[in-house]
Amino acid sequence: MELINEIPNLDLSASFNLKDRDNMTSFSNYKKQVPKKFYIFRIVLVASVGGFLFGYDGSVITGALPFLTEYFHLSATGQGVAVSSAALGAIVGPLGSLKFAERIGRRKTMIVAVICFSVSAIGNALSITIWDFAFWRFVTGIGVGLAMISSPIYIAELSPPKIRGQMVNMNQLSNVLGILLAVIASYFFSFSGWGWRWMFGSEVIPSVLLAVGLIFIPESPIWLSVHGRFKEALYILTKINGVSQAQNELHAIKTEIVKERDTSAELLQPGFKRALIVAIILMIFSQINGVNMMLTYAPTILADAGIKMGTNAILSSIPIFLFIFVCTIIAFYLIKHFSRRGLLITSVLFMAVGHVIMAINLQEHWPPLYTLIPMSIGAGAFTLGLAPLSWVIVSEIFPNSARGKGLAIVCFFLYLSSFITSLAFPILTHWFNSRFNNTSGVYWIFFCICIGCLIFSYKMIPETKGFTLDQIGEFWRAHSSGIRKNREGIPLVKRF
């Protein structure tokens, strides 16, 4: 247990048995290294593979759904199966990542995820029946589930505290880039009845490019430290933070590892159990709030509002996704200058407003293009707040050695709720439409859910901005003893 004293002073002149020696030509050059923001940005951009895969896959099914419905003669339940089968696979992904992310590392787990994604893309493109299609969508979900756990963990563990929120938001930016590329691909492939096959087949191209990029990025320094590979961890930390800060960071990591030897028991202690429950509920709200469903079923919703099915519906959804992209860029500034809690609460409030306007729009039968207004309000608010911050907060909230297990448990519930919502949404809209001749009731339900999320965020979400991962872990440890301050004596929960 005397882990801190195992290597009290690392000999920097010793040889580094590293696979990622990039740009380290001599020890003298190594010692002169200073923090490099571009180096971090480049790594994080590649590592946000999980967000890209999630966005691309979600938008491909969005564009393909009208054609799948026609080709496979799908009912409302069949549409739910086609969409939700990926979410069902994503439930399995986190369970697999309990072994993968901790045993083989964050980077290799992301590579496995990309392989799953590539193989399933080909399977989806060649599907003969809806059940073939659902099976390969399930495999896609496994890959997405693996990536969406390993990517945020990796980014959070690699990023300095001052820019960690912005770097984790890169995952959301990659998500939006994936959405945009998929929408554009869907539009160009939508002029043929067989175009849906090319929509899914096109997923192979970005997958291969991402797999190549993942080969050249380093492993997480925290994962390396947990596995006793301190010299490699120090090298990576030095490239990120500079020599002196790297030594301090490594000492803090080693101290935290000593306190967190039994990771399963750690998560069940009062303070960390509370963190686990908070993280689970927050991520469930991020899936059942309704905005994801508006985006997933965008062409279908626009078609129901009076915009022609197929190509025109896909084209009409492009402004929404472009707006989301702009909001994602703005989110970098907001995350840097405002508190996590303040942004989260404001975001959920405007999402609730968007659902109210959508419900009234459908009740009053406003002109079809007016549907874009509440969709834009909800999607914009979601993208500026809840979408990135749910991942930022959850990736920060767990102790270092238990982060992989904690996030795997959280993502299990996340994708379970996503599966249920994706399956239920077309069934609910069909029921409301047949019973009341409009689907406004669905959005009143989503409004109530957003109000619940608003109250939860205000009461339960701690402020984590500006603190190291070790300080956040110390806060939850202190919280189990009834102390609401971190080791520096700074209260976290109510800080704005």
If we measure between CA atoms, which residue out of 155, 176, 151 comes closest to residue 380? 176
Question: Where residue 442 falls among pLDDT bands split at 50, 70, 90?
Answer: very high
Name the token pair of 83. Answer: 């969409």
108: its two tokens: 């290799």
Cβ(318)–Cβ(417) under 8 Å? Answer: no
pLDDT for residue 192: 65
Domain ranges of the chain: 36-217+260-479
**248: three-class secondary structure by DSSP:** helix
Percentage with pLDDT > 70 across the chain: 77
Between 352 and 366, where is the model more confident? 352
Rounded to an integer, the average pLDDT of 420-430 is: 86
Position 145 scores a pLDDT of: 81
Angle at 435 between CA 432 and CA 437, to 5 degrees: 75
Give Cβ neighbours of residue 303 (< 8 Å, ≥ 6 apart): 66, 309, 313
User: Which of 63, 45, 234, 59 is closest to 140 using CA atoms?
Assistant: 59
Mean pLDDT of the chain: 78
Q: What is the pLDDT of residue 308?
A: 55
Tokens of 324: 């989301």
The domain 36-217+260-479 is classified under which CATH number: 1.10.600.10, 1.20.1250.20, 3.20.20.70, 3.40.50.2300? 1.20.1250.20
**Complete DSSP assignment for 140-154:** HHHHHHHHHHHHHHH
| pLDDT value for 306 | 64
| Cα angle: 325, vertex 330, 335; to 5 degrees | 125
- Token code pair at residue 35: 């923090």
Q: Which two tokens stand for residue 301?
A: 């919703």
SS3 32: coil
Q: How many C-beta atoms lie closer than 10 Å to residue 183's C-beta?
A: 24
What pLDDT shows up at residue 271?
Answer: 64
Average pLDDT in the 369-384 region? 88
> CA-based Rg of the chain, rounded to a whole angstrom?
23
Q: Whole-angstrom Cα distance, residue 412 to residue 67?
A: 30
pLDDT bracket for residue 317 (50, 70, 90): low
Q: What is the dihedral of CA 302, 303, 306, 311, to 10 degrees?
A: 100
Structure tokens of 409? 């448990």
Kindly report, residue by residue over 191-239, the tens digit of the pLDDT: 766 678 888 988 888 888 888 888 888 988 888 888 888 888 888 888 8
pLDDT recorded at residue 133: 92
How many Å apart are CA 35 and CA 240, to the nearest integer? 5
Buried b / exposed e across 184-194, counting CB within 10 Å, b at 16+?
A: bbbbebbeeee
Dist. CA 139–CA 96, nearest whole Å: 13
Q: What is the pLDDT of residues 40-95, one digit of tens each?
A: 888 888 888 767 877 888 778 877 888 888 888 888 888 888 888 888 888 877 77
In this prediction, residues 402-407 reach a mean pLDDT of 75
Distance, CA of 394 to chain centre: 10
Confidence of residue 422 (pLDDT cuts 50, 70, 90): confident
Mean pLDDT, residues 434-450? 92
Global model pTM greater than 0.75: no
For the record, the structure tokens of 145 come out as: 């589930």
Banded pLDDT at 446 (limits 50, 70, 90) = very high
Q: Which of 139-153, 248-262, 291-305, 420-434 has the highest mean pLDDT?
A: 420-434
What is the predicted pLDDT for the residue at 143?
A: 87
The percentage of residues in the chain with a pLDDT greater than 90, rounded to a whole number, is 14
